[in-house]
Amino acid sequence: PPIVQGVEESALDRGYSVLLSTSNNDPERELAVVRLLKERRVDAVIVASSRVGGLYQIHREHAIPLVLINNEQKGDYTYTVSTDDATGGHLATHYLLELGHRTIGYIHGPLVKQSTHQRCRGYEAALREYGITPDPSLIAVGDGQAAGGYLAMTGLLARCPRPTAVFCFNDLTAMGALRAVHAAGLSVPRDVSVIGYDDIGLAAFAQPPLTTIAQQSYELGRQAVRLALDLLDGKDVSSITLEVALV
């Protein structure tokens, strides 16, 4: 929602309206979205999705600017506004290492998301800096949702020895992980430390309040509009990477 808000408010400030469509990564729905955008003769397209798919047709056939959020695709047609996810993963893991943890798990998000792998890359880099070889058995696959975080954390807690800390792909994953820790009769942070990613509003109201990596979600949307309209005006542009911070 903050990304959408950033897109909408920035576009309205520049005299543009926003047509919001979702595809849920369904190819048929994606083609329906493409037809709708063509019929509405949109000026530019911003894609906040793990895939571009048929939306590339709009650029190829009509030379309409195409900007991606948190997703990079090969080709001269794409420009991206993204979060420095590798640095975010490094920040999170380095923080846990500084607390003295040495057996640290990572719960993936959806494997189709580039951010999943970038955050994991930062996680592994921080471990290596402390002389720790990343252990694949400490990396669990989640789905970016609380339910997936719960299942993934349950699996990690069954490991022997279990991790003393876990870095989660996002805050929703971390919410599920917290639930799994409590369900196992354990305590956070006494038995297991948990850190999330995104800094959603609910993070401060978790029990205990969730340590997390904040990305500039609103600014991602705002910068995507600026980049799209600069492309529309024929200006020279380059992709944009936004910084993250530990909260």
Blockwise average pLDDT, block size 10, the chain, 247 residues: 94 94 78 82 84 66 82 68 95 98 95 88 98 97 95 96 97 96 95 95 88 95 95 89 96
pTM for the predicted model, two decimal places: 0.88
Would you state the pLDDT for residue 79?
82
Would you state the pLDDT for residue 207?
84
Contact 83, 70 (CB under 8 A): yes
Would you state the pLDDT for residue 194?
97
The torsion angle over the Cα atoms of residues 228, 234, 239 and 241, rounded to 10 degrees, is -60
Would you state the pLDDT for residue 80?
86
Residues 6+ apart with CB under 8 A from 184: 154, 157
SS3 of the chain: helix, strand, coil, percent, to 5:
45, 15, 40
Would you state the pLDDT for residue 4?
94
Residue 57 neighbours by CB distance under 10 Å: 17
Contact 138, 163 (CB under 8 A): yes
Q: Is the peptide bond prior to 163 cis by the omega test (within 30 degrees of 0)?
A: no
Would you state the pLDDT for residue 225?
96
Would you state the pLDDT for residue 206?
87
Host H or E run for residue 112: none
Chain-centre distance of CA 235, in angstroms? 28
Rounded distance between C-alpha atoms, residue 218 and residue 213, angstroms: 15
Would you state the pLDDT for residue 27?
74
Would you state the pLDDT for residue 136?
96
Would you state the pLDDT for residue 74?
61
Rounded distance between C-alpha atoms, residue 166 and residue 242, angstroms: 24
